[in-house]
Structure 1
């Protein structure tokens, strides 16, 4: 569980796996644009590829959410 809360590892995953391949454009951006265009012709492997490349960003959003919730719900210290 500690690996899922490691900021450095999550950011490394976002910049490497999340944005791979870097040229001509990251898969994640292409897949999102494809879905926004109606997802015509997308197959199971395309959705899996979107999940695979988007998972590091989901982990990052999870970390940000817990960070915000923990800072707003702490009782005031005396």
Structure 2
């Protein structure tokens, strides 16, 4: 199995339900005064996203959305998670 196929299979391991739940949860937390993801995206468009902690925060609150996008864009998406063991089986 090629490295590309292993990576594509790995993208499909968590269920879509779990990824959507993580995207919603991390996307809106903390809710007050404003969801972090919304705040960081606004900072990115304003050009004020310069501190490393803010860049990390954008990644941390946005990774589930990125995972969902990558999963939806992978051609020939596998419906099950198949990661070969160390012997390639």
TM class by shorter chain equals: 0.7 to 0.9
SS at match of 1:16: helix
Quote the Cα distance in structure 1 between the aligned partners of 2:37 and 2:60.
9
Q: Which runs of 5+ in 1 are unaligned?
A: 72-78
CA distances 1:43-66 after superposition (whole Å, capped 9, x unpaired): 111100010001010011012112
1:70 aligns with 2:76: yes
CA RMSD of aligned residues (A): 1.8
Q: Of the two structures, which has the highest relative contact order with CA contacts closer than 8 Å and spacing of 6 or more?
A: 2
Give the aligned partner of residue 9 of structure 1. Answer: 18
Give the aligned partner of residue 44 of structure 1. Answer: 52
- TM-score in terms of structure 1 length: 0.72
- TM-score in terms of structure 2 length: 0.64
Give the alignment partner of residue 55 of structure 1, picking from 56, 63, 67: 63
